[in-house]
Amino acid sequence: MGKVIVVTSGKGGVGKTTSSAALGAALAQRGEKVVVVDFDVGLRNLDLVMGAERRVVYDLVNVIQGEAKLTQALIRDKRLETLFLLPASQTRDKDALTPEGVELVMAELKRVFDWVICDSPAGIERGATLAMRHADMAVVVTNPEVSSVRDSDRIIGLLDSKTLKAERGERMEKHLLLTRYDPNRAERGDMLKVEDVLEILSIPLIGIIPESMDVLRASNIGAPVTLADARSAPAMAYFDAARRLAGEVLPITIPGEKRGLFGKIFGRRAA
């Protein structure tokens, strides 16, 4: 039985889709069978970020409405055998996503895949609540910026109340993924530090993704950043985050930090 992960944030533009694609690819690069599901009906973009936009035939709504089989809607990644995409519908409105339909699709995906990664739309409406509904674990994507932290706090509240796990009285496992982090600006005091965000949100950290040109470059060419340049700083941070998702215990480092020899010797670690 596969694990369902929701990648969510409340706020738009913080890196949910980028992170869904990168984490999905990173897990698939470990040989695990992964599907990434786009829940943003009407404004899909995961297909574009993963470079599969020209190959979309059927989508999640087609499957829910019985117009296509799940196997027909799944798109296999051209570079990674074990990575699949289930695109959202671009044309229909959000109401086409029914709780019953989503439940059936998730149950089937869990049977076939090791990981089901749900890329949530921004906001707290139907698409977002349905994306988190069946999750076993949540990755809360947050930028070190006030409005993003506030919205993440709101989403954490929803994860603890509106999900199946919460309704069954179980504890939803939530992890913070801090994206677009600039260690130099944080050090200068111009950006919230990792510790600040952790203290405010008080959920465990799963990774810090540095602000990097490599992320934009990857989406330009239509490849998850872990595939576009596996040795780039953000890719390595996503690889580590994926390993932590899979249960490994790794010390968290602030990646891409420009340090001199002195800093390298006395390399500091964030908790």
Partner 1 sequence: MSIFQLFRKQRSAPMARERLQVLLAHERSSTGADLVSILREEILAAIAKHVQLDNDKVQVKMDRDEHVSILEIDVEIPLDAAMRAA
Binding residue numbers for ATP? 11-18
Rule CB under 8 A: say whether 90 interacts with partner 1.
yes
Rule CB under 8 A: say whether 250 interacts with partner 1.
no
Options 108-116, 117-125, 213-221, 260-268: segment touching partner 1 (CB under 8 A): 213-221
User: Biggest alpha carbon distance in the chain?
Assistant: 62
CB 209 within 8 A of CB 177: yes
Closest separation in Å from C-beta 233 to partner 1: 15
Q: For residue 164, what are the contacts with CB-CB under 8 A and spacing of at least 6?
A: 133, 134
Rule CB under 8 A: say whether 53 interacts with partner 1.
yes
Query: Locate tokens 């229909």: which residue?
Result: 92
List 143, 163, 219, 226, residue binding partner 1 (CB under 8 A): 219
> Looking at beta carbons only, is 48 or 137 nearer to partner 1?
48
Rule CB under 8 A: say whether 84 interacts with partner 1.
no
Rule CB under 8 A: say whether 217 interacts with partner 1.
yes
Rule CB under 8 A: say whether 105 interacts with partner 1.
no
List 161, 220, 259, 267, residue binding partner 1 (CB under 8 A): 220
Closest separation in Å from C-beta 94 to partner 1: 15
Closest separation in Å from C-beta 217 to partner 1: 4
Rule CB under 8 A: say whether 69 interacts with partner 1.
yes
List 216, 250, 263, 268, residue binding partner 1 (CB under 8 A): 216
Closest separation in Å from C-beta 218 to partner 1: 8
Give the phi and the psi of residue 137 in degrees, each rounded to 5: -150, 150
Q: For residue 224, what are the contacts with CB-CB under 8 A and spacing of at least 6?
A: 21, 22, 24, 25, 26, 49, 50, 218
Here's the x/- map for partner 1, 162-201, by CB under 8 A: it reads as ----------------------------------------
Rule CB under 8 A: say whether 87 interacts with partner 1.
no
Query: Locate tokens 């897990």: which residue?
Result: 27
Site residues, partner 1 (CB under 8 A): 48, 51, 53-58, 68-69, 71-72, 90-91, 216-217, 219-222
